[in-house]
Amino acid sequence: MSPLLLLLLFKLTIAAAAPAQLRPGFYTETCSEAESTVRKVMIKAIMREPRSVASVMRLQFHDCFVNGCDASLLLDDTPTMLGEKLALSNINSLRSFEVVDEIKEALEKLCPGVVSCADIIIMAARDAVELSGGKRWEVKLGRKDSLTASQEDSNNIMPSPRANASYLIDLFSKFNLSIQDLVALSGSHSIGNGRCFSIVFRLYNQSGTGRPDPAMEPRYREMLNRLCPVDGDGNVTGYLDATPQKFDNQYFKDLVSGRGFLNSDQTLFSSEARTREFVERFSRDEDAFFAAFIEGMVKMGDLQSGRPGEIRRNCRVVNSRTLESHWGLEYLQKFVIRVPLA
């Protein structure tokens, strides 16, 4: 191989691996109906099953925290790659992948090969909040889809429902997310459900004490005891706040009254002054919550790995890696074929 060709290959690899410049309206020229198409499918989804939009919104968190917002989460396992779907925090828990598939199908019909699965997650999460009664915001787009996924990274990064506030503060700070971001983003639990599996330890054996979490309001705990008896079905679900289909600040009011579902929720009020301050503020001021939530979602959406990517045709599998699809036919003709002959 000629030195010139080597240099060109090297340069191209670097260019492909630099983080994409995200911006609003990224698809205005190339797929002007991209955002409205995502919203239409999300409306169908919420009518079919109200909870599904919460489940889709959660995907943004589980995608972005593990090597950036790159749809690595959506890849199915292959014989040579353990994906993230079966990671500790995801197995028997993440759901509504079929809604993402439906969005992708609609977009591939409209403008094939243009809109990334990573951007679909970001747009759909925004729509989930709006369709549940929250405020709409402008999303930055232009992400690429990963070429791989890591179950191990997901296991190491994603927090357990048992996590306490100081652990969560540290975790979020590793992603440059502030204490306000942590509390506001936890407010996503204003919609959706959680499983008994995620709370039995705090109902019956908090921190190995053989006792329930003392931060729980007694009547709320009795209700959860009936829902989730010892040795009951761990897949039974309860509501994450008192209004699980409405995106509002009820979640924070619930935390103030000891009615948080997960330990990782209640701990934000009950065990750490630095987070309690924000829980109290958001419980009184819904607009402040909405504004901080949007700021947090945009910051979380900015997380990128800087690794090379592609626009997947099917969100569950990487595109086939022929030389041509990787480098582009034009490039191959120009450099790989012509330069060495010259």
> Residues in the site for ligand HEM, rule: CB under 6 A?
51, 54-55, 57-58, 60-61, 93, 95, 159, 161, 163, 168, 185-186, 188-189, 191-195, 198, 240, 262, 264
By CB under 6 A, residue 327 contacts ligand NAG: no
Residue whose CB is less far from ligand HEM, 212 or 238: 238
Taking the complex as a whole, how short is the minimal distance between the CB of residue 234 and ligand NAG, in angstroms?
A: 3
β-partners of residue 145 are 310
Structure tokens at 263: 């330990």
Q: CA-to-CA distance for 135 and 304, rounded, in angstroms?
A: 25
- Report 169-188 residues binding ligand NAG (CB under 6 A): 175-176
39, 62, 259, 276: the catalytic one is: 62
Q: Say which entry of ligand HEM, ligand NAG, none residue 167 contacts (CB below 5 to 8 A, set by partner kind).
A: ligand NAG
Distances, alpha carbon 199 to alpha carbons 171, 176, 221, in Å: 21, 28, 11
Q: In terms of DSSP H, where are the helices of the chain? A: 3-17, 34-48, 52-64, 97-110, 117-131, 151-157, 165-173, 179-186, 200-204, 218-227, 250-256, 263-270, 273-284, 286-301, 323-327, 329-331, 338-341
Interaction of residue 197 with ligand NAG, rule CB under 6 A = yes
Does 63 appear as a known binding residue? yes
Instruction: Find tokens 């240099």 and name the residue.
Output: 7
Residue 62 among the catalytic residues: yes
| CB contact at 8 A, 238 and 203 | no
Question: Annotated binding residue at 145?
Answer: no
Task: Please say which residue, 16 or 163, places its beta carbon nearer to ligand NAG.
Answer: 163
CB nearer to ligand HEM: pick between 93 and 151? 93
Take residue 232 and report the two structure tokens written for it. Answer: 């009951």
Measured over the CA atoms of residue 163, residue 207, residue 155 and residue 239, the dihedral's sign is: negative
Any binding-site annotation on 248?
Answer: yes
In terms of CB distance, is 46 or 183 closer to ligand NAG? Answer: 183
Q: How far is Cα 302 from Cα 307, in angstroms, rounded to an integer? A: 14
Query: Does 19 count as an annotated binding residue?
Result: no
Closest contact distance (angstroms) between CB of 312 and ligand HEM is 22
Q: Is 314 in the site for ligand NAG (CB under 6 A)?
A: no
Binding partner of residue 262 among ligand NAG, ligand HEM, none, CB cut-off 5 to 8 Å per kind: ligand HEM
Residue nearest to ligand HEM (CB): 192
Query: Any contact of residue 97 with ligand NAG (CB under 6 A)?
Result: no
| 94: DSSP letter | -
Instruction: Please state, in angstroms and rounded to a whole number, the distance separating the CA atoms of residues 328 and 322.
Output: 10
Q: How far is the CB of 63 from ligand NAG (least distance, A)?
A: 14
* Nearest-angstrom CA–CA distance, 43 and 66: 28
Q: Which stretch binds ligand NAG (CB under 6 A): 35-43, 50-58, 162-170, 186-194?
A: 162-170
DSSP secondary structure of 198-260: GTHHHHH-GGGSSS--TTS-HHHHHHHHHHS-TTS-TT-EEESSSSTTS-SSHHHHHHHTT--
Catalytic (active-site) positions:
62
**Which residues sit at the interface with ligand NAG, rule CB under 6 A?**
92, 164, 166-167, 175-176, 197, 205, 208, 210, 233-235, 303
